[in-house]
Amino acid sequence: MGGESAGVKTGVSVPEVSYDRRTIRLHWATAVLVTALWGIAQIIDLFPKGAPKISARSVHIIIGVLLGVVLVIRIVWRSRSGHRLPPAKAALRDISPGPCTWCYMRGLPR
Q: Which residues bind ligand HEM (CB under 6 A)?
A: 34, 37-38, 41, 44-45, 57, 60-61, 64-65, 67
Tell me the C-alpha distance between 9 and 5, whole Å: 9
Closer residue to ligand HEM (CB): 44 or 76: 44
Please answer whether residues 7 and 90 qualify as being in contact, where contact means their C-beta atoms are separated by less than 8 angstroms. no
| Distance in Å, CB of 52 to ligand HEM, minimum | 11
CA-nearest of 67, 62, 78, 60 to 32 is 67
Distances (CA, A) of 43 to 36, 56, 87: 11, 9, 40
8 vs 44, beta carbon nearer ligand HEM: 44
For ligand HEM, which is the closer residue by CB, 31 or 100?
31
Smallest distance, ligand HEM to C-beta of residue 79, A: 21
> Minimum Å distance from CB 73 to ligand HEM?
15
Task: Give me the least distance between CB of 21 and ligand HEM, in Å please.
Answer: 24
Question: Is-contact 83 14, C-beta < 8 A?
Answer: no
